[in-house]
Amino acid sequence: MLLLGELEEKKENKRSLLKKLYESLEKERKCVLYESSSGYVFGEGDPDSPVVFVGEAPGEEEDKLKRPFVGRAGQYLNSKLEEVGLKREKVYITNVVKSRPPGNRVPTKEEMASCLPYLRREIEIIKPKIIVCLGSTAVKGILGKDYSITKYRGKTFPYPYDSSIKVFLTYHPAYILRNPSSDKEFLEDLKSIVRIISQA
Protein backbone atom coordinates (compact mmCIF):
# COMPACT_ATOMS: atom_id res chain seq x y z
CA MET A 1 0.00 0.00 0.00
CA LEU A 2 1.27 3.48 -0.86
CA LEU A 3 1.60 6.07 1.91
CA LEU A 4 0.00 9.51 1.51
CA GLY A 5 3.32 11.17 0.71
CA GLU A 6 4.09 8.57 -1.94
CA LEU A 7 0.65 9.03 -3.51
CA GLU A 8 1.21 12.80 -3.70
CA GLU A 9 4.63 12.21 -5.26
CA LYS A 10 3.09 9.86 -7.86
CA LYS A 11 0.46 12.46 -8.71
CA GLU A 12 3.07 15.23 -8.99
CA ASN A 13 5.11 12.99 -11.26
CA LYS A 14 2.10 12.44 -13.53
CA ARG A 15 1.45 16.22 -13.58
CA SER A 16 4.98 16.91 -14.66
CA LEU A 17 4.90 14.18 -17.36
CA LEU A 18 1.64 15.63 -18.71
CA LYS A 19 3.17 19.10 -18.73
CA LYS A 20 6.12 17.78 -20.74
CA LEU A 21 3.74 16.05 -23.14
CA TYR A 22 1.80 19.27 -23.72
CA GLU A 23 5.04 21.16 -24.25
CA SER A 24 6.10 18.63 -26.88
CA LEU A 25 2.67 18.87 -28.55
CA GLU A 26 3.13 22.67 -28.83
CA LYS A 27 6.72 22.38 -29.99
CA GLU A 28 6.27 19.61 -32.54
CA ARG A 29 2.96 20.85 -34.03
CA LYS A 30 2.51 17.38 -35.54
CA CYS A 31 -1.11 17.18 -34.41
CA VAL A 32 -2.72 19.03 -37.31
CA LEU A 33 -5.47 21.70 -37.42
CA TYR A 34 -3.30 23.99 -35.30
CA GLU A 35 -3.12 26.77 -37.92
CA SER A 36 -6.86 26.93 -38.59
CA SER A 37 -7.68 27.20 -34.86
CA SER A 38 -6.56 29.43 -31.96
CA GLY A 39 -4.18 26.69 -30.81
CA TYR A 40 -4.20 23.46 -28.86
CA VAL A 41 -6.64 22.56 -26.11
CA PHE A 42 -5.06 20.13 -23.65
CA GLY A 43 -6.75 17.62 -21.41
CA GLU A 44 -7.54 18.74 -17.87
CA GLY A 45 -8.48 17.31 -14.50
CA ASP A 46 -7.06 14.99 -11.89
CA PRO A 47 -4.04 13.08 -13.31
CA ASP A 48 -4.75 10.33 -10.78
CA SER A 49 -8.37 9.94 -11.83
CA PRO A 50 -9.57 6.35 -12.33
CA VAL A 51 -11.58 7.60 -15.30
CA VAL A 52 -10.63 9.50 -18.47
CA PHE A 53 -13.43 10.95 -20.61
CA VAL A 54 -12.50 11.32 -24.28
CA GLY A 55 -14.43 13.59 -26.65
CA GLU A 56 -14.00 14.36 -30.34
CA ALA A 57 -12.36 17.79 -30.67
CA PRO A 58 -12.65 21.26 -29.14
CA GLY A 59 -15.57 23.38 -30.31
CA GLU A 60 -15.86 27.17 -30.54
CA GLU A 61 -16.03 27.86 -26.80
CA GLU A 62 -13.22 25.38 -26.02
CA ASP A 63 -11.07 27.00 -28.71
CA LYS A 64 -11.66 30.43 -27.16
CA LEU A 65 -11.08 29.39 -23.54
CA LYS A 66 -8.44 26.71 -24.29
CA ARG A 67 -10.20 24.17 -22.08
CA PRO A 68 -12.03 20.98 -23.06
CA PHE A 69 -15.81 20.69 -22.70
CA VAL A 70 -16.63 24.19 -21.49
CA GLY A 71 -19.42 24.98 -23.98
CA ARG A 72 -23.03 23.77 -23.88
CA ALA A 73 -22.07 20.09 -24.20
CA GLY A 74 -19.55 20.56 -21.39
CA GLN A 75 -22.10 22.19 -19.10
CA TYR A 76 -24.47 19.29 -19.72
CA LEU A 77 -21.65 16.81 -19.00
CA ASN A 78 -20.76 18.62 -15.75
CA SER A 79 -24.36 18.51 -14.54
CA LYS A 80 -24.65 14.77 -15.26
CA LEU A 81 -21.32 14.06 -13.57
CA GLU A 82 -22.60 15.85 -10.50
CA GLU A 83 -25.82 13.84 -10.57
CA VAL A 84 -23.83 10.61 -10.15
CA GLY A 85 -21.47 12.10 -7.57
CA LEU A 86 -18.47 12.60 -9.87
CA LYS A 87 -16.85 16.02 -9.56
CA ARG A 88 -15.48 17.39 -12.82
CA GLU A 89 -12.18 18.37 -11.21
CA LYS A 90 -11.79 14.81 -9.88
CA VAL A 91 -11.99 13.20 -13.35
CA TYR A 92 -9.80 13.75 -16.41
CA ILE A 93 -11.31 15.12 -19.63
CA THR A 94 -9.62 15.27 -23.02
CA ASN A 95 -10.20 14.95 -26.77
CA VAL A 96 -8.92 12.84 -29.66
CA VAL A 97 -8.03 15.93 -31.70
CA LYS A 98 -6.43 18.76 -29.76
CA SER A 99 -7.54 21.77 -31.83
CA ARG A 100 -10.84 22.89 -33.30
CA PRO A 101 -11.71 21.61 -36.79
CA PRO A 102 -12.98 24.43 -39.04
CA GLY A 103 -16.73 24.90 -38.52
CA ASN A 104 -16.71 22.07 -35.95
CA ARG A 105 -16.68 19.44 -38.68
CA VAL A 106 -15.80 15.84 -37.79
CA PRO A 107 -12.02 15.37 -37.95
CA THR A 108 -10.71 13.26 -40.83
CA LYS A 109 -8.90 9.94 -40.40
CA GLU A 110 -5.57 11.63 -41.13
CA GLU A 111 -6.22 14.46 -38.68
CA MET A 112 -7.09 11.95 -35.98
CA ALA A 113 -4.03 9.85 -36.73
CA SER A 114 -1.76 12.90 -36.36
CA CYS A 115 -3.06 13.55 -32.81
CA LEU A 116 -3.52 10.00 -31.54
CA PRO A 117 0.06 9.49 -30.27
CA TYR A 118 -0.55 12.37 -27.82
CA LEU A 119 -3.84 10.92 -26.59
CA ARG A 120 -2.21 7.51 -26.13
CA ARG A 121 0.61 9.05 -24.12
CA GLU A 122 -1.91 10.98 -21.97
CA ILE A 123 -3.61 7.66 -21.17
CA GLU A 124 -0.29 5.92 -20.57
CA ILE A 125 0.69 8.59 -18.01
CA ILE A 126 -2.69 8.67 -16.23
CA LYS A 127 -3.26 4.89 -16.43
CA PRO A 128 -6.97 5.08 -15.55
CA LYS A 129 -9.16 2.07 -14.76
CA ILE A 130 -11.63 3.10 -17.42
CA ILE A 131 -11.64 5.23 -20.57
CA VAL A 132 -15.06 6.62 -21.47
CA CYS A 133 -15.52 7.26 -25.18
CA LEU A 134 -18.01 10.08 -25.68
CA GLY A 135 -19.34 9.39 -29.15
CA SER A 136 -18.14 7.56 -32.23
CA THR A 137 -15.06 9.68 -33.04
CA ALA A 138 -13.63 8.88 -29.62
CA VAL A 139 -14.41 5.19 -30.14
CA LYS A 140 -12.66 5.23 -33.50
CA GLY A 141 -9.64 6.94 -31.97
CA ILE A 142 -9.40 4.65 -28.94
CA LEU A 143 -10.44 1.28 -30.39
CA GLY A 144 -9.48 1.96 -34.03
CA LYS A 145 -12.87 0.66 -35.21
CA ASP A 146 -16.33 1.95 -36.04
CA TYR A 147 -18.95 0.92 -33.49
CA SER A 148 -22.53 2.08 -33.54
CA ILE A 149 -23.04 3.94 -30.26
CA THR A 150 -26.77 3.20 -30.16
CA LYS A 151 -25.95 -0.52 -30.38
CA TYR A 152 -22.86 -0.65 -28.16
CA ARG A 153 -23.44 2.06 -25.56
CA GLY A 154 -22.98 0.80 -22.02
CA LYS A 155 -20.59 -1.94 -23.21
CA THR A 156 -16.91 -2.26 -22.35
CA PHE A 157 -13.94 -3.43 -24.41
CA PRO A 158 -10.29 -3.91 -23.46
CA TYR A 159 -8.06 -0.96 -24.36
CA PRO A 160 -5.87 -2.25 -27.23
CA TYR A 161 -2.64 -0.79 -25.74
CA ASP A 162 -3.22 -1.98 -22.14
CA SER A 163 -5.82 -4.67 -21.59
CA SER A 164 -6.01 -3.88 -17.86
CA ILE A 165 -7.88 -0.69 -18.84
CA LYS A 166 -11.57 -0.92 -19.79
CA VAL A 167 -13.00 1.15 -22.64
CA PHE A 168 -16.64 2.17 -22.10
CA LEU A 169 -18.82 3.43 -24.95
CA THR A 170 -21.51 6.07 -24.54
CA TYR A 171 -23.13 9.01 -26.30
CA HIS A 172 -21.45 12.33 -26.99
CA PRO A 173 -23.09 15.04 -24.80
CA ALA A 174 -23.78 17.17 -27.91
CA TYR A 175 -25.79 14.26 -29.36
CA ILE A 176 -27.96 14.18 -26.22
CA LEU A 177 -28.58 17.92 -26.46
CA ARG A 178 -29.96 17.23 -29.95
CA ASN A 179 -31.75 14.03 -28.84
CA PRO A 180 -32.95 14.69 -25.27
CA SER A 181 -34.65 11.30 -25.05
CA SER A 182 -31.16 9.73 -24.70
CA ASP A 183 -30.55 11.63 -21.46
CA LYS A 184 -31.85 8.73 -19.34
CA GLU A 185 -29.52 6.23 -21.01
CA PHE A 186 -26.55 8.56 -20.56
CA LEU A 187 -27.31 8.80 -16.84
CA GLU A 188 -27.55 4.98 -16.66
CA ASP A 189 -24.16 4.76 -18.38
CA LEU A 190 -22.60 7.19 -15.91
CA LYS A 191 -23.99 5.12 -13.03
CA SER A 192 -22.42 1.99 -14.56
CA ILE A 193 -19.11 3.85 -14.83
CA VAL A 194 -19.28 4.78 -11.12
CA ARG A 195 -19.98 1.10 -10.30
CA ILE A 196 -17.00 -0.06 -12.39
CA ILE A 197 -14.69 2.45 -10.68
CA SER A 198 -15.82 1.48 -7.20
CA GLN A 199 -15.40 -2.24 -7.92
CA ALA A 200 -11.92 -1.86 -9.38
Q: Could you report how far apart the first and last alpha carbons of the chain are, in Å?
A: 15
How many residues interact with ligand URA (rule CB under 6 A)? 13
Which residues, 161 to 200, sit near ligand URA by CB under 6 A? Answer: 174
Which residues, 113 to 172, sit near ligand URA by CB under 6 A? Answer: none
Of 42, 53, 69, 118, the one binding ligand URA by CB under 6 A: 69
Of 58, 107, 128, 141, the one binding ligand URA by CB under 6 A: 58
Residue 95 in contact with ligand URA, rule: CB under 6 A: yes
Residue 55 in contact with ligand URA, rule: CB under 6 A: yes
Of 25, 44, 46, 56, the one binding ligand URA by CB under 6 A: 56
Q: Kindly provide the b/e burial profile for residues 53-90, where b requires at least 16 CB atoms within 10 angstroms of the residue's own CB.
A: bbbbbbbebbbeeebbbbbebbebbbebbeeeebebee
Residue 33 in contact with ligand URA, rule: CB under 6 A: no
**CB of 98 or CB of 166, closer to ligand URA:** 98
How would you class 173 by CB atoms within 10 Å of its CB: exposed for 0-12, middle for 13-18, buried for 19 or more?
buried
Coil, strand, or helix at residue 164?
A: strand
**CB of 5 or CB of 102, closer to ligand URA:** 102
Alpha helices in the chain (DSSP H): 4-28, 60-65, 72-83, 109-126, 136-143, 149-152, 173-178, 183-199
Residues that bind ligand URA (CB under 6 A): 55-59, 62, 68-69, 71, 73-74, 95, 174
